[in-house]
Structure 1
Amino acid sequence: MKLAGLTVAYWCVLVASLLPIVCAGLAKWGMFGTPRSKGGYDNHHPRQWLAKQTDWRARANAAQANSFEALPFFIGAVIIAHQLGASQLRLDVLAFLYIVLRLLYIMMYVADLATVRSVLWTLALVANIAILFA
């Protein structure tokens, strides 16, 4: 299936590429209006500011890092599957499943549900491997 010339799997690549940005925004959520002197977001030193965060903000930042780490394998798997002529329906469903699992993973990470998060991470990895071999 194609939408605006791209397959659903390629749209999923775009969504996966935006997930780290969503995580970063979540980590910074509500801190833009707070003065830096009171712990508000420091755009002059954003990485240092994020490194000082705790609880759910720190976990959202960690989810950002993990989302960046998972991205190359997903992009590669989708491209390889397309090049090798995988069933488009199968590829689209698996790519969509991967995105759903990654979104759930991020939510569980931020919510500090470590075991569920790890299960979702594993399922997303399995979906990604299935894409590669689709």
Structure 2
Amino acid sequence: MTIALWCVLIAGMMSPLTGLLAKGGKVGGKAYDNNHPRQWLAQLEGRPARAVAAMNNSFESFPLFAAAVIIAHFSNAPADTLNILAMAYVAIRVLYTACYLLNWGALRSLVWFAGAGVVITMFCIIP
């Protein structure tokens, strides 16, 4: 399996891992409610709430990234270039999540655009 395909797995796991950060928060002094998870998560504030937002954004951005990698892979795009772009995307998403958690909105937006640029570039390297 190529590095780019491993990056699809890693990027796919980022949402659930970010969700774990959110679940460490408390709502009204109460820990995570597994019986009503969406209601509980919707009541979070501060860093845990930002972790939920980062998790949701990861879920939203993942399909296009995965499609770009898979289409480029099976279209015989240059493997080295695709691997570098996929690793860059994962690194950008880690930085994006950190910016979200630290409440750095302007930098977060710039990092998001960098991630989108990487995905667009993946489509552009397809022969």
Shift of 1:115: 0.5
Structure 1: gaps of 5 or more residues: 1-5
Say how many residue pairs are matched.
125
Identify if the C-alpha distance between structure 1 residues 130 and 37 changes in structure 2 by more than 3 Å, giving closer, same or farther. Answer: closer
Among 42, 46, 58, the residue aligned to 2:49? 58
Shift of 1:37: 7.1
Structure-2 residue corresponding to 1:106: 97
Shift of 1:38: 2.9
Structure-1 residue corresponding to 2:29: 38
Taking the aligned partners of 1:96 and 1:38, their CA distance within structure 2 comes to 39
Structure-2 residue corresponding to 1:21: 16
Among 99, 104, 109, the residue aligned to 1:118? 109
What TM-score comes out, normalization by structure 2 length?
0.94
Residue identity in the other structure for 1:90 = T
For residues 15-68 of structure 1, the C-alpha deviation after alignment (integer angstroms, 9 at most, x for no partner) is 01001001100101265xxxx873211111111110000011111000011000
Structure-1 residue corresponding to 2:120: 129
Structure 2: gaps of 5 or more residues: none
Among 4, 11, 24, the residue aligned to 1:9? 4
Structure-2 residue corresponding to 1:86: 77
Contact 2:25 2:44 in 1 (8 A): no
Structure-2 residue corresponding to 1:3: none
What TM-score comes out, normalization by structure 1 length?
0.89
The CA RMSD measured in Å over matched residues stands at 1.3
What is the aligned-residue identity percentage? 41
For the residue of structure 2 that corresponds to 1:42, the secondary structure is: coil
Taking the aligned partners of 2:29 and 2:102, their CA distance within structure 1 comes to 25
